[in-house]
Amino acid sequence: MASHAFIHLVEGSAQQTISLQQVEELFLYYKEITGKTGEQLQFDYDQSAFPYECTQEEGYLSLTSEERGYAKMYIGAGPVNEEAFSFLQITLPADSKYGDRNKANEFSKFLAKKLKGELTLFNGRKMYYYKR
């Protein structure tokens, strides 16, 4: 069964709307900073830190991995309704593997912190990264 995490952009967020292109740029930034951690440790950490490749499909981003223990996750963006703020949905399909959930939690926390949004984790718990 698929599971989902949501990042809602609220009044206190850094921005009120987001596009898939912006999410893809944040993905590339995340891969870059995790790679720099490996450089500092003198360890080839790029593929271990976040072993996904991003492709933009129609209406969502598909993050796939060939590494052992990882498979895929999807990220979609959109408005709640015409008057409300945007949100991101991180989806783990039914055939995702054990490592996907951990990496999806890490990446969703990174996105929520960067965007100063409200994160609803896969287990239903909420984390607030904006000033209330």
**What pLDDT was estimated at residue 79?**
83
Which residues, 6 or more positions from 13, have their beta carbon under 8 angstroms from its beta carbon?
Answer: 85, 115, 116, 117, 130
**What pLDDT was estimated at residue 75?**
96
Residues of the chain with pLDDT under 70: 46, 83-85
